[in-house]
Amino acid sequence: MFIVFIGPPGVGKGTQANMLAEKYPMFKISTGDLLREAIREKTTLGERAKSFMERGELVPDALVIELVNEKVSTTSKDINSFIFDGFPRTIEQAKQLDGLLLSKKSSISVAVNFAMDEEERVTRLSGRRMCPKCQRTYHIKFAKPKIDNLCDYCNVDLIQRSDDDEAVIRQRSSVYWEQTRPLLDFYDQRNLLQTIDASRNIDLVFKDLDNFVANLKK
């Protein structure tokens, strides 16, 4: 099973992907997390991706596809269900992903569109916090850690992502509308698109997602 999560920054894709991967034997691939990891480890790819991310632009397709290819091919053969969080983000990436899955005699099972009102989304982003160690995301109001500002799992101080700065958020949003949103038509034309109202609370959003997955498993 291959699930694709699509949505502008701040709609809770990462949180929902983690919840799904905790409940089912599914492997989460978040290209944002992989890129941040590459930057921390100062790999050549990370060095090349860094300035695009700092500006809130998309990292070139070839680099992202290289990362995803590597991750899928090095994942244990026992795992055959994946959640792609924040990938694909362009039509070119979607086509390349189709090619990769075809080579595995597989295809996308569902593309989930996380829909949310613009103003609510920006408010949410400004309250987002991240664990610098495990990359889990929290929110100061909607997804609080058990102890204030500490990761529930790693016990380290949470941080605010540098690209959650307001100017960069605005840039990332316009990139979404121009380059990523066309993917909704791409998947809708193939009857693969499901839209979720992501402005509701985390558990209600997860209930919908869980239903999609349960139906796919039937």
Catalytic residue set: 13, 89, 128, 161, 172
Joined together, the tokens standing for residue 118 give 């613009």
Residue 61's closest CA among 39, 93, 29?
93
Number of residue whose CB is nearest ligand AMP: 32
172 touches ligand AMP by CB under 6 A: yes
Q: Percent helix, strand and coil across the chain, each rounded to 5?
A: 50, 15, 35
Residue 11 binds ligand AMP, judged by CB under 6 A: no
Task: State which of positions 89-128 bind ligand AMP (CB under 6 A).
Answer: 89, 93
Strands 128-130 and 137-139: antiparallel
Give 9 or 46: the residue with its C-beta nearer to ligand AMP.
Answer: 9
Answer yes or no whether residue 28 interacts with ligand AMP by CB under 6 A.
no
Residues near ligand AMP (CB under 6 A), total: 18
Q: Which residues pair with 139 in a beta bridge?
A: 128, 143
Minimum gap (Å) between residue 123 Cβ and ligand AMP: 17
Determine, following the binding rule CB under 6 A, whether residue 86 of this chain makes contact with ligand AMP: yes
Asked if residues 115 and 125 have their Cβ atoms less than 8 Å apart, the reply is no
Helix axes 61-74, 91-102, angle to 10 degrees: 30
Pair of tokens at residue 218: 């039937």
DSSP code at position 179 = I
The answer to the question of residue 35 lying near ligand AMP (CB under 6 A) is yes
Taking CB under 6 A as the criterion, the residue among 16, 31, 96, 109 binding ligand AMP is 31
Q: Which residues would be at the binding site for ligand AMP (CB under 6 A)?
A: 9, 31-32, 35, 52-53, 56-59, 64, 86-89, 93, 163, 172
